[in-house]
């Protein structure tokens, strides 16, 4: 049984193959969109969790640092007042002055420790931000690679089908034209 391949049949086959390829591409793009959306939601949730866990620590550290600095300022004022008292009272106050100097030194050490802690927390937040940025960049790079892969995967079969269709058309055309004798 010989099939008659006329222009309408060839055109219909070409349209069907093209329609299937476009539908496949649309489905793949939809799946990529869903995956990207899911990943973006996951990244957003992780960032919110990170923010929710770090912000209270930052606020507490800032308050503690402010309280420590206020205490240091108060201690310095107390030292100034004590000097006047020491000149009046004299030798009995020397022991108390030594204690106040020691307290002031400890407060300075604690302030320095709090500043160091605040710097460490800030550094950790910065590193986590860089990490999230790298994760998102890697995600986008992967999506770009997947898109390129899908385009190539669809383009090659379409090109092959197009070549087959052209060869079939050329064969049909050559069979249709009458042979001229010389």
The most confident of 4-8, 13-17, 177-181, by mean pLDDT: 13-17
181 pLDDT exceeds 80? Answer: no
78 pLDDT exceeds 90? Answer: no
| Integer CA distances (angstroms), 9 to 3, 162, 169, in order | 10, 15, 11
- Give the pLDDT band of residue 64 (cuts 50, 70, 90): confident
- Dist. CA 173–CA 169, nearest whole Å: 6
- Give the pLDDT band of residue 108 (cuts 50, 70, 90): very high
CA atoms within 13 A on the CB side of 71: 16
DSSP 4: P
Q: pLDDT tens across 155-165, in order?
A: 888 888 899 99
Helix (H) / strand (E) element for 111: namely: helix 91-176
Please state the pTM of the whole predicted model.
Answer: 0.32
pLDDT at residue 142, as a whole number: 92
Shortest CA distance to 68 belongs to which of 13, 11, 114, 101?
A: 114
Domain boundaries, the chain: 13-46, 57-146
pLDDT at residue 60, as a whole number: 85
Shortest CA distance to 165 belongs to which of 3, 18, 2?
A: 18
Q: pLDDT tens across 126-156, in order?
A: 999 999 899 989 988 998 898 888 888 888 8
pLDDT at residue 75, as a whole number: 80
pLDDT at residue 69, as a whole number: 81
pLDDT at residue 82, as a whole number: 75
Shortest CA distance to 27 belongs to which of 165, 173, 150, 119?
A: 150
Q: Name the token pair of 26.
A: 């649309």
Q: pLDDT tens across 13-56, in order?
A: 899 999 999 999 999 999 999 999 999 999 999 989 988 888 88
Q: Kindly report the CATH number that applies to the domain delimited by 57-146.
A: 1.10.287
Tell me the backbone φ, ψ of residue 5, rounded to 5 degrees: -105, 100
- Dist. CA 71–CA 52, nearest whole Å: 29
């Amino acid at each position: 049984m010989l099939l008659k391949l006329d222009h309408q049949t060839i055109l219909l086959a070409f349209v069907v193959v093209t329609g299937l390829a476009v539908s496949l591409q649309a489905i793949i793009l939809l799946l990529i969109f869903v995956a990207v959306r899911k990943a973006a939601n996951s990244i957003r949730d992780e960032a919110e969790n990170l923010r929710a866990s770090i912000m209270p620590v930052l606020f507490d550290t800032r308050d503690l640092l402010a309280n420590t600095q206020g205490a240091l300022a108060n201690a310095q004022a107390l030292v100034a007042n004590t000097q006047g008292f020491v000149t009046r009272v004299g030798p009995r106050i020397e022991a108390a002055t030594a204690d106040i100097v020691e307290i002031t030194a400890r407060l300075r050490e604690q302030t320095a420790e709090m500043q160091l802690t605040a710097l460490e927390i800030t550094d950790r937040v910065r590193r986590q931000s860089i990490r999230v940025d790298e994760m998102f960049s890697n995600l986008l790079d992967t999506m770009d690679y997947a898109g390129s892969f899908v385009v190539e995967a669809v383009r090659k079969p379409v090109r092959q089908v197009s070549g087959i269709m052209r060869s079939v058309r050329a064969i049909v055309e050559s069979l249709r034209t009458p042979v001229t004798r010389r």
